[in-house]
Amino acid sequence: MKRIFVENTWYAAAWDYEVAEADNKLARTICEVPLVFYKGESGDYIALDNRCCHRAAALSSGRVEGDCIRCMYHGILYDKDGKGLEVPGQKRVPASIKVRSYPVAHKGGMLWIWMGDPALANEDDIYDFPPLSQPETWRGFDKPSYLHYKANWLLIVDNLADFSHVAFVHTNTLGGSEDYAYVTNPDVEKLDDGIGIKRWHHNSDAPPFHAKVIPENELSDKLDRLNDLTMHIPGIFLMNTIFAPAGWDAEKNDRSNCREYRNCQFMTPETRNTTHFFWNYLHNDNIENDATSASLKESLMEGFIEDKVIIEEQQLLLEESPDFVPKFIEADEAFAHFRTIWNRRLREEDEVKPLVFKENKKRIL
């Protein structure tokens, strides 16, 4: 049985507002495991298997009672650790009445979940994105965004690891010119848990999304554009973007005349063929202006939909062509390294805890 997902890592699970808007109970599948996230009376966020251990009723349709949740099929009450506390109509609660609980962390408005061995979960290992928690300096969207992809999450990682696609997919949105693919050479750093990429575009025009939010008298000014990003296991994309006057001295690093953005994107596998995609785009200029934030969100969403169309088409073609063998080009260096690390992590977990298929002889269906 082939392992598909790394378990001992933190996955982005939900923006906290998603739980609130779902009446404090959110059903979400991660790594093909149905989960329920809820906020207890204590203010803690809790994650349990979404299937009641009795007849697999959805706990996300249940009722939160303090820090517990009650299945509203036959009334079984579970505590925050997944232990059964009450079975209506019987005095004793067997030890077998329980569901699995998962470590959850809350940082920057995002809930993170650890799908593996709880003893290994360390919140300090989460790649928290400071701008999400710095509203006095960085302005993001009034509500961070979520998209659902009908595609494997690694296809999205591939897309983000090679920014030359910006020139062709996003010519009229995020890129601005096909020149970006020809005149920019990325500096790729191979990290122990991912990749780092710096990509300059010197003496360029403002791309459309940026042109919409800068003063009209600056539109003709040439710019030096830097995208400085890191991508970490399992699917954590963090990017700093600088638009500086052409000829900017990067060594002096005087950013007084620069405009900057911060971009976070979190890709979490729902299943092997579907993905949860969380993102926000923040700026530090004119942060009191609601129109700037709204314009950036509209532009970025337009660009991401352009990506989504291509990636979902790619998924369908790959499903229809299981014997397809991709050909390598130099721009693949970054994501090839990422996939190498991912596959190594899968092997390492298999060595410690091999997956074994067990026939379920007590299936209800």
Rounded mean pLDDT, 155-164? 90
Q: Which residues pair with 332 in a beta bridge?
A: none
Three-state helix/strand/coil letters over the chain? CCCCCCCCCEEEEEEHHHHHHCCCEEEEEECCEEEEEEECCCCCEEEEECECCCCCCEHHHCEEECCEEECCCCCCEECCCCEEEECCCCCCCCCCCECCEECEEEECCEEEEECCCHHHCCHHHCCCCHHHHCCCCCECCCCCEEEEECCCHHHHHHHHHCHHHHHHHCHHHHHCCCHHHHHCCCEEEEECCEEEEEEEEEEECCCHHHHCCCCHHHCCCCEEEEEEEEEECCCEEEEEEEEEECCCCCCCCCCCCCEEEEEEEEEEEEECCEEEEEEEEEECCCCCCHHHHHHHHHHHHHHHHHHHHHHHHHHHHHHHCCCCCCCCCHHHHHHHHHHHHHHHHHHHHHHHCCCCCCCCCCCCC
**What pLDDT is attached to residue 174?**
82
**What pLDDT is attached to residue 170?**
86
**What pLDDT is attached to residue 79?**
98
Structure-token pair, residue 56:
């697999």
212-267 pLDDT tens trace: 999 999 889 999 999 999 999 999 999 999 999 999 999 999 999 999 999 999 99
Domain ranges, ordered by start, for the chain: 10-125, 132-347
**What pLDDT is attached to residue 177?**
72
> Which CATH fold topology does 132-347 show?
Naphthalene 1,2-dioxygenase Alpha Subunit; Chain A, domain 1 (3.90.380)
- Does this chain's domain 10-125 share its CATH topology with 132-347? no
Rounded mean pLDDT, 15-40? 97
Q: Is the pLDDT of residue 183 over 90?
A: no
Q: Is the pLDDT of residue 180 over 80?
A: no
Superfamily classification of domain 10-125: Rieske [2Fe-2S] iron-sulphur domain (2.102.10.10)
Q: With 0.75 as the threshold, say if the pTM is over it.
A: yes
29-39 pLDDT tens trace: 999 999 999 99
**What pLDDT is attached to residue 166?**
80
- Judge whether 266 and 239 are in contact, CB under 8 Å: no
Q: In angstroms, rounded to a whole number, what is the distance separating the alpha carbons of residues 203 and 205?
A: 7
285-333 pLDDT tens trace: 989 999 999 999 999 999 999 999 999 999 999 999 999 999 998 888 9
Rounded mean pLDDT, 26-50? 98
Residue 126's alpha-carbon distances to 72, 108, 129, in angstroms, are: 34, 11, 9
CB count in 10 Å sphere of residue 258: 18
- Judge whether 85 and 78 are in contact, CB under 8 Å: yes
Rounded mean pLDDT, 333-352? 95
Mean pLDDT of the chain: 94
Percent of the chain at pLDDT > 70 equals 99
